[in-house]
Structures are given as C-alpha cells and as structure tokens.
Structure 1
C-alpha cells in the first residue's frame, strides 16, 4: 500500500464509483471528497455504494466554486484524512471524478518506486507561464479577489482596476516563492505532510485564500518550499482549448491517449463506454512501458486549438463568424475577376472558359440577376440566383460559392453597373486576381440606339461608380493581384496584356497566345468621346483616345481580326 488517491467528485457518480473501485482493487486507498453543493440524498446514496469497501472512504465536505479557495480546502480535507488513515501511503495522487487511469496501477506504483523522493507537480514561476488565457499572472498573488470571477464578473473587473489605479498591493509571506501549474499532482507523503503541518499554515492559508485560482498555485508554491526533488510536470494528461477550458476525451481518442504514455487523463466524457471498458481492464495487453510524455500528442492539440481559434480559410458559419480583421483568410481559394473584357470582345466568356478550363460565370453581381455559368439557377451549396438573397450578404455569397466549388477555379465578370458593396472585399482578398479595362463601358454605349441625353446620364453613372472602385484599388491595404489598363492602353496591345493575365492564372506555357475573340468596332470611339465631352461629360477613365489617330484605332481592330 504505497500509493493513495484523492478523488474530487461533483458529478458523474457512476463513473467516479468505477474508478474508485478500480483503484481500491489494486490495493490503493481512496479518499473521496463530494462537493458540498451535491444534494444530501445523492451524497448518501453514493456513499452507501461503498459499504464494505475498507479502502474507500469519504472526507469532510465543503461547497466548491471554481477559482476560489474552496477547491484547495476540499483537497486539504481529503489529503489529511488519507494521511491519517493510511500511514503506509508514500505517494498521494490527486485526481477528479472525471479522470481515468490510462495504464495499469501496477505500472504507476513501479514508476513511483523508482522515484521514492520525487514530487510530480507542475510548478513554474509566473515569468515562465505561457498557457494562461485571458488571466492574471503575477497580479494574482499581489491583488485581492473578494468577488467571484464567474458569478460577479463586473465587480471582479472593477475591483481589479481600482487596485491597479491606487497601487494597492499585498505582501507575499516570507519563504513563499509564487509558482503556478496544473492542479493535478502526485506528492510524496513527506512533502504533503510538511505543507499540511507547517507551523505558519494559518497565515499561509489566509494569504492564498485571497489569491486568484489558488488551486493552481497553493501546492505548486509550497512544494518548492518543502520538496527535496521536484519534477515539474504532472502525471495526468490534461489539455486545454483556446478559451482555457479542458478538452473532453471521447471514445475515438483512444489511440491518442495510449500514445501519450500518461498514467491518468482528464477530462473523460461520462458516456465514453469504450474508454472506460478498455482502460479499466488490467488484462488488456500493454504495448510499451515508457515514461509519460504528453508532448507526443501536443501537435494534435495545437492544430485543434488553431482550427478552433482561427477556423478554416474562407469558411464562415453561424458557429464561427469572426469580426472584421480577424478572419483566417477572406476566401478559401484563388479566383479571377474580369472587368470590361466582355464589352471589348464578342463572345469573350466562352473563349475564356476554353482557355482557363474552369467555370466562367457572367456578372455574379448584376443588379437584376446572378449570372451563373451555363445559366444555372442554383449553384453548389444551394446558392440561388436571387439578387435579393445575394445582396443580403454579398461577401459571404462569394465566399460560399468559392467554398462549395473548391478544387475548381472560379472566374466571373464585374463592372461599374454591378452591386458596389463587393468592391472593397475584392481589393482586400489576396486570393483575387483582378483584370480591369477601365472605361470599357463606353464601347456598348457608343453603338447603342439610346437618346443622347440618356447616354450622357448612363455614362455619368457608370463613370462615377468606376472611379469609386478604382479609388478602392489604389487605397492602402489592397492585397489582390490587380492588372489595370485604360481602354486606350489595352487596345494598343491586347494580345500581350491578355497573355500576361493568362500566364499568371495558369502559369507560363510553351505556346504563346495566337487567337483572340473578335474585338468590337471601336473605330468611331474617338468621335463619340469628343461628343460626350462637348455634351458636358468628361471621360476620365477611358484613356487618351484624342491623341490616337483614327488609322491606329483601325489598325488595332484589324490586328484583332487577323489573329482570330
């Protein structure tokens, strides 16, 4: 009888009973503390189950609340009774009712027998702590905490701010070096008795009773005072998420738990039948006898914490909708946005689809209808072509489309006549490739049969919208890959400019671009622009067609037709 257990229980009494009986069956005395908040009838029924079991006993009860001195007091009550009732116990192992032994108790006894004077307790100075989440470190030892952090958070925070403002500090008792660590430890009888029988214990207990979360610092600090040999790690596997809450282990975590080589794990889901039946069976084959090493599985938990904290790039859901600026990537995949090309060329959409090999949509943000590729009315992810649904959250419409079609690069058209709310998102997204011919909207206008007053009004509206979009693309924080030409610049060398875009999207290839879709007739464009100017609309985004002789415009048109 060299090892004894202290069990802190407040729920899942059937599982706590299984674990307590398992320890007792391996000749390990168990002292159980049941939370004082548990109803008397429930406590009596639980205690009566152990009648006739001499190695399982119960300690004096106290009401336990997270982060308060009550948890240390409950541990003291149980530890004192264990030491008084079982003088042969050499090591005391603190566990909870949700803990589960991962290796046979005989292995734990053998391991402790090789370390007879060693205390296994995580105990590090506040300067070495890296795991606290939204918590206090050094100040938990120098400030007072009369209010519950969980039940009265506003009073807790207000009192902390007042103490900081007026410089109020508590004096740390002589001989105490503040340390922090996991609540779950395995101490030698000598160290534990020294802590519980210390002559200045009343003063020390009074001090720690006002420390924040003392169960992470009381035994951790006092062990440094009395222990002859400390290994600063716990024999219990416990992992925490990004919010500081313990990970819960389920049946499918069995291989992970075995790989850790730890002796005990918490926190086990009460309904994990396979875990309890497997690990409470001492007849199961033991694969190895290695020292506990939870670091073997740290990578898995680090990845899980990162996934939970940051999510997957470009995936938005009700469960995780980050604040602006805290997204893990705006979208999940690369995509292309073309502006003005379908107005400069005939049948540019099918030509582009053949060139890129992906899906090329029309104007996804057309004010009247979402123009999905192939005229689809519903796309992957049940995305409707309804503009009202799209405009409710235009950014998430795009991110959902990209997520639902990941693995297939998407391309679509966007222009000054489309919904403008998406513009800033496109500019900020590093996955976007934007190819823009500014002023291309004048091409269909100058061949339209509208009244000139209507043409002027439409030209003013489109130019105003395009200028706003171009300002967005020139602002700071633009992460998209932007290719921008005026219409005049583009028609001078259309093949070279399209070749650069395709090389970026698909990668450089051995064959150069030799065919273009037919370019629309722009021979009369300089005269049309002059007419707009004389009518009071100054074309600012089209480029300098005035200095381009008409014969050069015709040459550009002929060059486009020759390479078709």
Structure 2
C-alpha cells in the first residue's frame, strides 16, 4: 500500500484561496492540517473553519502568532506536524506549504514521485558559509547572538540589541552535536525524520536555543534534519523566487506559461487575484501533467534577467528604483557623445564644419545661461526637451541623460565653456560615454573680439579663468572615466591640424586621418598685446599659453642661389 502524503498549510490571509487549495489537496486523498495565525480574529478564523467542516481530511491545529523572523513559525509547523502524524498514521511524507502556495501539477504525480523515494527528505540545507542568499548582513550571527525582538515591529530595539551584543562580544554556543544549516522553510520530510525531530530527547534544549535565533524557520528543521535524516536531497520541491532584497517574487496570471515550464510541483507566492492561475492548475489536469523532474533552473535565467533589469536597468535609463541612489545607475548615459570645449571660439563656423565632417548632430552651448542652444536653432527636440534654461537648470543631469536617451542612434555633440552651467562637470567627467576635447584659455577670444579695454574686462577674465581652472581640475581627477584631450590655446594656434584630426578621430569620423578641409581660424591679430594688457592690469591669463606681445617679424626671403659658371 502506498503511503499517503500529508500536507501542512500555514494560513494568515486570503482565506478563500486557502480553502480552495486545501480542498484540492484533500480531494487527492491528502490529509491536511491547517494552522491559522493567531493574529487573525476569532470571527474570521471561525468562519474559515466552518467553511471546511464538511471535509474529514482537513483538521486545524493549535494557533500561534506568526511574525516574520520569529519562533512562532517553527512552533506552528511543529504543532501542525504533531497533529498530522498522530491523526493520520499512514502518512509517509509531510509537505509544508502556505495558503499562498499553489500546486502546479496533479497531486497524484507528487504522491507517485515521493513513493519512489520513500526514505528521501527534500529540504534545502546548507551550512552558513555556503549560503549566498541571506540578506541583511547576519550569517553566523543569527545563531551566536540572541534576537528577542521582532525585526518588523521593533526595528530600533532589534538593531540596538544586536549592536550591544557585538560590543560586549557575546557568543552563544550551539547545542552539542548540532551544526547550523540554513535553507528554504518549505520542505517535504519523511514521517520517520519528522517524528525523530519532534521526539528527540534533547528537543527542549534545541527549542530553547532556536527561540532566540533570527528567522528560525530557515534553520530549525534544516539543522535537525542533518542530524536525523537518512538521505537528504538538499532542495525544495516548492518553487520560490526572491528578489535582491530578499523579498519573494509574486506570481500573477501572466506567469502561467512560465510556471508550466518549471515542472515544479508547487509554487509560491501566488497573488490571490490570479484567477487564471488557480483555474488552470487546480482544474486542468491534462494541461498540467508533465511527469518531468522538477527543474526550476529552466526559469532561473528569466528571473536573473528580471533582477538585472530591476537593479541595473538599461544603460542610461533612469527609473524609480535606482534614481535616488548616486552610483546605482547602469551607466550615466545611454550612448557615446562628445563635448567640445573652446574650439567654437577659435574657429569660424566650427559647428557646421564639425557636423559635415562627422555626421554628428552638433549643438551649440547646451548649458549656456540664456538658453540651451540646440542644433539648427531648434527650441524643442526629441522627448519634448525645451531650450528653457530654468527647466534645464532645475536638474542638469536629467537634462543631459534625457537628451542622450531620446536621441539614441545619432551621436550628439555640444559646446561647453566657463560661461556655462558648471553643475554638469562631474557628471560628464565620470561618464565613460563622454568624449571631451578641450582648448584652455579660449574664453579670452570673445573678450578680445569685443573691443572693450582690458581694464574693463579684467574682472570677467579672472572669473572665467577661475571657473575653467576648476573644470580642468575635475577633468584631470583620478575619478574621471571620460575620454579627454586637452590643449592650450597657444598649441592650437601654432599647429591646428593635428588636434582637429584627433577630434574627428575620437568622434569616429570617416577618413579622419586625411583632413582635406579645415575651419578658418579667427583673426587673432593683436591678441598677444591684449593678453599683455590684462597682465598689466594684474590679471595673469596663464591658461591661454604663451603668446608673443608682437607678432614675429617675417623672415627675409632667401636669395636664389647664383647659377654656376665656368671660368676659362
């Protein structure tokens, strides 16, 4: 005669669904013991019990308060197991589930599967050193310290008590003969193993110790099964997935095909409103039957992708889960872009030339104080980004990241200088997608071409140089991740072709190494005298590089060599 499968259901909410699942187990011939959280009102508990009174295979056990992370969950499982073993002596395996668990395959398949493995206990059980999934920083300490306070209700007391124990060096000893193990609380144990755990002569000592362990439902049976079981399969027959914060994934109607693919016997946690799931798995025997070995690994890749999307997201796309935390974004921006500093001040029609040579979308000064100077004079571009300076400056980082995200597929380039909003400096400097070409001291060219006397613009020149020096310090920081090229203005004026070719090459321009067309350098006649006048006013424009006060006199043209002649 095949031993029966007994089921323990831990229920605290969604009683209509718990009733539906309990009847499903019972119809398959499984005795069911239900534990209802003592936090549930007597009236609600009474109505639930009366609804199931017509089913002889369903009984209720003594109630305990079941707070997350506390002993009540273990006590509930112990009492329910004692009730099940005493009331139904022909039970061979006991399956622990919750009211939110849903059988995915016909119960007969599970019964047959266990009948073929009569001495095998299915319980996830790993030593603390080998457990990668614990969240919250407590591994061995959950055993060596005491936890009398509920983490959810008394968070401050919990943290303060843990810290106090750490300071005094408290270290509780495990009961003799026990090695702490951890794993999923959803297990399926043989009658022999479960009875041996419950009847262990040292159970009082074990219970006393585990009452003060944090989250004992993940360690009590997992530890004692290692002491008493003949053969352990360290895995759960229940499909349960958790996110990176340790919270269980909830399955909805649109997970139907995913759950079928897992071939698992039971899944948790099912949303109570998932009508399609309950209808499919509790009534569609033919559609659910697979006779395959449970293989949750089939869907692990999808869950890994979900966690990756949840925690990292797509590059350069911000969402609520990562937006508040600096550094948690998966890349600052979504695509490579260029920032050109100082070239537009030195070369005539530089933006048009750069657009022709690279095919990039070349903007003016996007962070200028008056407005965002979009390419071709546009006032609104993709994503409804406007040129309004007030909106941009409310969050310059969001402006930049939105610009790059909205214009994916076309490289963006913009001008920058010391007059622009400098709040964006560190964001761009730390962005691996950024490519920066900077000419230092080019801010002096517009001042020079304004025709205003040096005495009048000395203060403005000093301010611009100070701002640019701070920006250069950022660009040269060891924290910088952008690709950066820096030249002084004097270097560019002396030999402009090589830097221009470098800029084109860094932007991926075709044939950048064979520069056939170059922009016209602005007229700088008298620029050296202008810089000297600034020096005479007490302002030293060191970022421009060295310019002679007077242009060098042209060298005399060499005389043509005389023709050789023969003397006769």
Q: Same fold (TM over 0.5)?
A: yes
Map residues 313-352 of structure 1 onto 2, 5 A cutoff: 313-352=315-354
Q: Which moved more, 1:169-178 or 1:241-250?
A: 169-178
| Conserved 8 A contact 1:32-1:59 | yes
Question: Which residue does the alignment assign to 2:143?
Answer: 141
Q: How does 1:293-442 map to 2 (within 5 A)?
A: 293-442=295-444
Q: Indicate the SS of the match to 1:225.
A: helix
- What's the secondary structure of 1:440's corresponding residue? coil
Structure 1 stretch 274-283 or stretch 232-241: which is displaced more?
274-283
Corresponding residue SS for 1:150: coil
More deviation in 311-320 or 391-400?
Answer: 311-320
Partner of 2:566: none
1:5 aligns with 2:7: yes
Cα separation, 2, equivalents of 1:305 and 1:281: 32
Per the normalisation by structure 1, the TM-score is: 0.93
Would the aligned equivalents of 1:246 and 1:267 in 2 still touch at CA under 8 Å? yes
- 2:30 counterpart SS class: coil
**Matched residues in 2 for 1:46 and 1:548: separation?**
99
Q: The residue matched to 1:280 in structure 2 has which SS?
A: helix
Question: TM-score under structure 2 normalisation?
Answer: 0.93
Task: Report if the CA contact (8 A) 1:336-1:433 is conserved.
Answer: yes
User: 2:214 maps to which residue?
Assistant: 212
* Equivalence map 1:175-186=2 (5 Å): 175-186=177-188
Distance 2:475 2:260 in 1: 54
Counterpart-to-counterpart distance in 2, 1:521 and 1:188: 92
Structure 2, unmatched stretches of 5+, are: 556-568
Q: Give secondary structure in 1 for the equivalent of 2:507.
A: helix
What is the match of residue 491 of structure 1? Answer: 493
Secondary structure in 1 aligned to 2:383? coil
Separation of aligned partners in 1, 2:272 and 2:381: 43
8 Å CA contact retained: 2:9, 2:98: yes
1:167 pairs with 2:158: no
| 1:103 aligned partner | 105
Instruction: Tell me the residue number matched to 1:90.
Output: 92
- For 1:216 and 1:283, the matched residues in 2 are separated by 32
**Residue matched to 1:237:** 239
Structure 1 residue runs of 5 or longer lacking an equivalent are 554-564
1:327: Cα distance to partner? 3.3
> CA, structure 1 residues 320+72, in 2 after alignment: closer, same or farther (shift >3 Å)?
same
| 1:521 and 2:523 are equivalent in the alignment | yes
**Between Structure 1 and Structure 2, how many residues are aligned?**
553
Could you say what secondary structure the match of 1:506 adopts? Answer: coil
Structure 1 residue 100: Cα displacement: 0.8
Cα deviation for residue 244 of structure 1 reads 0.7
User: Which shows bigger deviation, 254-263 or 16-25?
Assistant: 254-263
Partners of 2:289 and 2:385 in 1: CA distance: 51
Q: Deviations over 1:45-64 (max 9, x none)?
A: 11122232111221121221
Query: Does 2:223 match 1:221?
Result: yes
Q: Is this contact kept in 2: 1:523–1:550, CA < 8 A?
A: no
Post-superposition shift, 1:416?
1.0
Shift of the 509–516 alpha-carbon distance from structure 1 to 2, 3 Å rule, reads closer
Partner of 1:14: 16
User: Who is 1:266 aligned against?
Assistant: 268
* Distance in 2 separating the partners of 1:68 and 1:336: 56
Quick one: distance in 2 between partners of 1:4 and 1:490?
A: 84
Are the equivalent residues in 2 in contact too, given 1:278–1:284 (CA < 8 A)?
no
For residues 237 and 411 of structure 1, the distance between their equivalents in structure 2, rounded to whole angstroms, comes to 50
